A = this chain, B = another copy of it.
Amino acid sequence: MDAHVNTLPSIENDFPAWYAEVVRRAGLAENAAVRGMMVIKPYGYGIWELLQRQMDDRIKATGHENFYFPMLMPASVLAKEADLVEGFAPEVAVVTEAGGSKLEEPLVLRPTSEAVIWSTYGRWLQSYRDLPMLYNQWANVVRWELRPRLFLRTSEFLWQEGHTAHETEQQAVAECLRILHEVYADTQHSVLAMPALLGRKSAAERFPGARETFTAEAMMGDRKALQAATSHYLGDEFARAYGVTYTGRDGSEHHPYATSWGSTTRLVGAVIMMHGDERGLRLPPAVAPYQVVVIPIQPGDSPVLEQAHALAAELRAAGIRVKLDDRVHVRPGAKFFEWELKGAPIRVELGERELARDEVSVARRDREPRELLSLDRLAERLQAMLGEIHRELFDRAAEHLADNTRSFDDRAELIEYLKAGSGFAVTAWCGSPECEAAIKAETSATLRCLALEPEDPGAPCPVCAGPGVETATWAQAY
């Protein structure tokens, strides 16, 4: 490695500084002129695009169609659903002038689109035959952020938001769970190599206006939790607030039941924080803008460069995303360092010596040491290697999650563990908001989720010793 290379801040001792430097040096994003907003740079956007397309495939495969609602809505539309406006009012941005004059009614930039969408669904829905309505949109939203952090908390972010309507409560809850499993958990597993704990939020942690919020909680490298996606069962509150009814099978008017569900560009932050190491990013192959980086050791040498081009073309033809780094003014050592920082899963080096033997040197980002491979059927072997890298990244992350999850029944031990940010703590919980608030007040850790199927009912709540009705997981969180 070149002597001029600066090492990153220690991932062990200063995770936040490490994160900020990886985001900056890998060219993922930077702060924009407006405080709290970010520029998503090409390499960071490339990760998002790949994630987006693969998640969109799953959203469509589960029967949903995309649409697009405007980013501005009259303030009065947002105000119609009491919980929603109360939850989001402190974060909204307001347009008061447009087209050269002051507006009669201020317009708010969407912080989320339940309001603008449900104020329209009434026009689309007549009969039970129109149900379910299964729609999604990819959009930008604005929530004013006082403590911004690139990808994790930004005043504008990109996301998808699903908004569905159903005949029965059961169907709406089933939709929430289907999205949680078949869209979110599956994308996180198969695309992001990201294990996550699936569960329900407590009332205190729910989305404003939701009757139930389902969540996928992932563990980052520093053992904190990150909420990777949520899926909300909204009951018929939105239908009531916006006057949406349909003629049911019985011929009379009913309110439909709603869900909404979203996941955002913060998932790019999650990928960095889950898989990164002391040398920088490690990208799961399915979201790596370049899965294989080809580096000719003597790029000024035309036979080597020609061979590098031929190899890149062959790998591309096999469906691999390839970068040929043929810059002549950057030394090979600096390139190795740069592509390690940027997390490219595989690096292939070609030099005169190797080529004389019809070989190339192949380095996996996630493992030492590099190996010499024959050029024969290389594409096929690199494809297999990408699959292996994905599995090993997932397995390591799952091991990290298991290793840093502990069950507690003793209050003092629980508090100590959570205060130290040692990982996920699993306990029985009596269900009282007071016990939940007590733990949060003492540790600043939050109730991340409740098990979908409570274990060991009746076990004592570590706070009040009352009988547990839920299995709760607590952690420090992003």
Contact = CB atoms under 8 A, between A and B. Distances in A.
Given A71-B156, A92-B98, A42 B135 contact: yes
Interface string A319-337: 0000000010100000000
A107 interface: yes
A116 B34 CA distance: 10
A428 interface: no
Number of copies: 2
Interface string A83-97: 000000111111111
A119 interface: yes
A74 interface: yes
A123 B44 CA distance: 17
Interface stretch (A15-23, A60-68, A205-213): A60-68
Contacts of A158: 68
- A89, A95, A123: most-surrounded residue (chain B CB, <10 A): A95
Contact of A65 (B42, B69, B155): B42
Nearest to A329: B129
Given A129-B329, A135-B42, A32 B140 contact: no
A70 B34 contact: yes
B95 A93 contact: yes
A34 B71 CA distance: 10
Interface in A293-338: 327, 329
Contact of A71 (B74, B97, B140): B140
A99 B91 contact: yes
A65 B321 CA distance: 14
A112 to B, nearest CB: 16
- A68, A109, A123, A144: most-surrounded residue (chain B CB, <10 A): A68
A69 B32 contact: yes
Contacts of A123: 30
A95 B97 CA distance: 7
A230 to B, nearest CB: 22
A278 interface: no
Interface string A50-76: 000000000000000111111111100
A49 interface: yes
A71 B34 CA distance: 10
A227 to B, nearest CB: 21
A158 B94 CA distance: 21
Q: Main SS of the interface on chain A?
A: mixed
Contacts of A38: 70
Contact of A95 (B41, B95, B139): B95
Interface string A420-438: 0000000000000000000
A248 interface: no
Contacts of A91: 99
Interface string A125-161: 0000100000100011010111000000001101000
- A70, A145, A158: most-surrounded residue (chain B CB, <10 A): A70
A474 to B, nearest CB: 29
A72 B116 contact: no
Given A42-B67, A45-B67, A98 B93 contact: yes
- A33, A39, A74, A146: most-surrounded residue (chain B CB, <10 A): A33
Nearest to A42: B65
Contacts of A65: 42, 45-46
Given A49-B66, A66-B49, A67-B41, A34 B107 contact: yes
A109 B74 CA distance: 16
Contacts of A45: 65-68
A77 interface: yes
7 contacts: A30-B123, A32-B70, A91-B99, A92-B98, A94-B98, A96-B96, A99-B144
8 nearest A-B pairs in the assembled complex, by CB-CB distance: A99-B144, A93-B98, A37-B70, A42-B65, A40-B68, A94-B97, A98-B144, A32-B70
